[in-house]
Structure 1
Amino acid sequence: MSRNTLDFPAWLTDRVQHTESVLDQLLPAVAEEPASLHEAMRYAVLGGGKRVRAALVYAAGEAALQTSAPASAQAIALDHAAAAVELIHAYSLVHDDLPCMDDDTLRRGRPTVHVRFNEATAMLAGDALQPLAFELLGLMPIAPALIVQAIELLARSAGSLGMVGGQAIDCESVGMALTAEQLQQMHSMKTGAMLEASVLLGGIVAGAGSSVREGLERYASAIGLAFQVVDDILDVTADTATLGKTAGKDAAGNKPTYVSILGLDASRELLQSLHAQAHEALLPLGPAGARLAGIADYIVGRDR
């Protein structure tokens, strides 16, 4: 059966398994020196995770396909883009879990990298995963101009104006009473930027035109924020076993969240509004946006 004929749950399972296989192939082998560093890198990336960012790359690529590149080249480019966003995400988690940041001992249901290895190795593993992501984008077999766009997008989304900047604001905001607008700005950078980049990378690789990219941007903005709202809700409604990480960590650390600022009911109302915005943004894409719509449903459905 073709991947295009799979229903959404089967497609998502297929993409998660495929992403795991791609990452396994593209990460350095443990047999290659420095072995301990490569083991830590593989531990940080493989064997867990929802792979939502990779799925967004593939779904956007399918929805926006306009390029005349051979199908094999298209597939390789999407694999590299999907792997790149997962590597950036993994590196950020390794660093976030360090004692100098969130000081967490559990991630994806198992010991965090600095607990499993040591702090220095964890720091270096994150440091090595980041440049590997950009190396993979540089090796995509697509037009050089599109490669430049992809690298620029990922760098901006992961840097001080995106994910890292949002994390810096998060660290500075502990114990502070942020407004809803300030919280949204922080999360749009910390979490939303990389989710948006995942969607737009799929569009870039597929050679999407300006009108399609506009729809993808509006979808990505809504779903990026929705993802964080769900995380904030789950931090107070789910247990550690369900989350695969320490439940109640935000409240214990006196961090501002949507639940702490808006309350649980209002947070859920916001989530439903963002869900509707994501679906509305996909209307111009027609049936081609079905996978992206399914991911929006999947993200929002985690709060159930």
Structure 2
Amino acid sequence: MKIGIAGAGAFGTALGIVLALDGKEIQLWTRNPDAAREMSRTRSNPKLPGVALPEKITISVELEPLFACDTILIAIPAQTLPAFLKPYADRLEGKTLVACCKGIDLERMTGPASTIRDLAPGAVPAMLTGPSFAGDIARGLPTALTLACADDELGVMLQTVLSTTSLRIYRTTDTIGAELGGALKNVMAIASGVAIGAKLGESARAALITRGFPEMQRLALALGAQPDTLSGLSGLGDLVLTCTSDQSRNYRYGLALGSGTDFDRNTTVEGAATARAVRQLAEELDIDMPICTVVADLTENKTDVATALNTLLSRPLKEE
């Protein structure tokens, strides 16, 4: 069985590595010809230093080999997902498309699995998400993820195919909960980074994580998620990881905001766009999302760190 992977960034490549080492044939697609040539020549990805690409990984800029695969993992940024799907909806007919990105599309206000369902209606959408860093996966360190697929029979097949000795896959049929858990935790990671960057201390970060989790649940439930999904790997597990490690791009972005230092704008920070989408959804649905709203305002320079923190700390006292 050959598995296609769209996106040769750190995460897509890491998934390719762990699956290839498990014996799977991998077709890895990148839109960058220079990157494809260099990865093929060196059998490495500079985003994963010290990790060799197994021979079972084939790298290409051509889409035909990718579309020849029945199962395609999509590891491109959530905000660029529609641009990938729209032109090729007919070619993706009958394919199983597993979203491996996290975020809420600013135009459609949908998570990755829902975006696939809407823009490639002939394909079967699924979601792979949970607490994971590309470097850990690529190096074979133990990692547990959630595979969400509304078709449970297909979910069982994907769970079997994508599980390896180091990558343990749990499954759910709740694609809404899985995609929202993965998206919303990035916003909380930015908030946690701001707290540490502003030297508010570990206790403040713990408070943000704890109060941020109910925000995530409120929005997810309002949008149709199952109550227990966010308490699992795709929600709470991913939240804890990304709010406490500087391997998280969203957390590092928050650190820069909190400390007033520069951040590499070429680095993808899904949580910034997600925060703005959440702010809009919260307004439309009349849901109280104070942390997400403050993060959205910070990312758009509509407020500063001191004012944002004062906004949160001056909220009315209430029962927990």
For normalisation by structure 1, the TM-score amounts to 0.31
More helix by share: 1
**With structure 2 as the length reference, what TM-score do the two structures score?**
0.30
Q: Which has the higher strand share?
A: 2
